[in-house]
Structure 1
Amino acid sequence: MPDLAVPAEPCFERPLFGGSISSTFPQRFQDLSNIREVPDHQEAFADPNRDESLIIELLDLKQDVADNQSALWFLQDLANEQDSSGDLVVENVSTVASSEVPFLDPSTVVTAAVGQMGISKGRQGREARNIVRVYVANLRLKDVGTDVLITAYEPLMISELSESARSIGSGAAVPAAAVGCMPVMEAFRLCLATFKIHNWSLFGS
């Protein structure tokens, strides 16, 4: 990954999981728990004006998944959940250097994967799928048996049949930079670069 760019919009540190974790990303990403129920193992944020989202999840460690393939595995798993495994285009798979996650122990394995897939909103069918670029990072906290998954979604093409079209219009998505917003890729990297664990008891004994 290239050097972290200077934020192009207001960003602030968010307390996650009751303050046990924190991370910084753009203010425009709203806490979805204020709108709908979010599972206890997730923190979910979205910009409704751009249909972009950022999700942080705590999952049981996938012991049978190789470290260097873990982010790709989660990306492919997401594609399977969306019935998009046949349409997934993997753009990049990488190991994240410890310097890019400075608040984690340097021995922590962190990998990232980026790909495009078709995703339908809610319970809409395949005919209403949007083309979305998905950024996935997997932080493997082996000592506490946890896979932290950070996933960001960037719509590229909105179907005219999608419910998203009613709020942001159909067709090609307007680039974030064109409207003074930080691109999703930058927000994703900022979230990683500022990810801090304050209370390890969150993960149990």
Structure 2
Amino acid sequence: MAQEKYSQRALFGGAISSLFPDRFQDVSNVRQVPDHQEAFVDPARDESLIIELLDFKPDVADSGSATWFLQDLATEQDAEGSVVIEQTGVVEVPGLSYGNVPSVVTTVVGQMAISKGRQGREAQNTVRVYVANLRLKGVSTDVLITAYEPIHINPLSESATAVGAGLAAPALQSGHVPMLEVFRLAVSSFKINDWNLFGSGL
């Protein structure tokens, strides 16, 4: 099996870093990405990894926060048949606490049918979605780490030209680390190097 190369990626101008495979290319080199977001894609496999900084949602309970964000993503992308496959409990992350305020993480794995870009429902792909919500309460920020892994590519989807239609081959078959492992590593290696990113008042 081919050895996957990894790099510690500098995110948000180096204020944050995370470790994931080199095959994921920075989307901002191709098109504009919103300031609160960092997006990476492996075009050969139509897999993507997105890191977002969002305002903290105080009315969402920690225990269900990753699931809440998954459903929010499904609504935003006009997804059909969104299902939750598994979710984890709330885990404290000592390395990400700010001041005396602890940070917590919850994760969820879901599956949904979504279309690429402006394509209609007839071109939907079945995609597994991994979501981690890092709740940085000390700086009132919800960090969202989302990984998308296609399970079935619709022949009408624009992804079919790059990846091929039908069942997407598991990453292992092509000598790559599975998306679940890529996701876990990106979450576990997530590090804040400069807390000033979250506001000058800190």
Tell me which of 34, 43, 62 is aligned to 2:38: 43
After superposition, the CA RMSD in angstroms is: 1.6
Structure-2 residue corresponding to 1:89: 83
Paired residues, what number? Answer: 196
**Mapped contact 2:111–2:127 kept (Cα < 8 A):** yes
Alpha-carbon distance, 1:49 to partner: 0.1
- Residue 63 of structure 1 deviates from its aligned partner by 1.1
Residues 115 and 134 in structure 1, CA contact (< 8 A), matched pair in contact too = yes
Task: Give the TM-score of the pair, scaled to structure 1.
Answer: 0.92
TM-score normalised by length of structure 2: 0.93
Cα 1:44–1:117 change in 2 (3 A) is: same
Q: What amino acid is aligned across from residue 85 of structure 2 in structure 1?
A: E
Summarize the alignment of residues 44-193 of structure 1 with structure 2, pairs less than 5 Å apart. Answer: 44-84=39-79, 87-95=81-89, 97-98=91-92, 103-105=95-97, 107-193=102-188
Letter matched to residue 91 of structure 1? I
With over 3 angstroms needed to count, the CA separation of the structure-2 counterparts of 1:42 and 1:9, relative to structure 1, is same
* Deviations 1:81-136, CA, capped at 9 Å, x for gaps: 1222x5111101113645xx574239311000111001100000000000000000
Instruction: Give aligned-pair identity as a percent.
Output: 64
Contact 1:158-1:164 within 8 A present in 2 as well:
yes
Q: Which amino acid in structure 2 is aligned with residue 54 of structure 1?
A: L
Aligned residue number for residue 4 of structure 1: none
Contact residue 96 and residue 136 of structure 2 kept, 8 A = no
Structure 1 residue 78: Cα displacement = 0.7
For the Cα contact (< 8 Å) 1:112–1:138, is it kept in 2?
Answer: yes
Structure 2 residue aligned with 1:31: 26
The equivalent residue for 2:4 is 9
- Spell out the pairing of 1:186-205 with structure 2 (5 A cutoff): 186-204=181-199, 205=201
Contact 1:103 1:195 in 2 (8 A): no
Q: Unmatched 5+ residue regions in structure 1?
A: 1-6
* 1:19 aligned to which of 14, 18, 36: 14
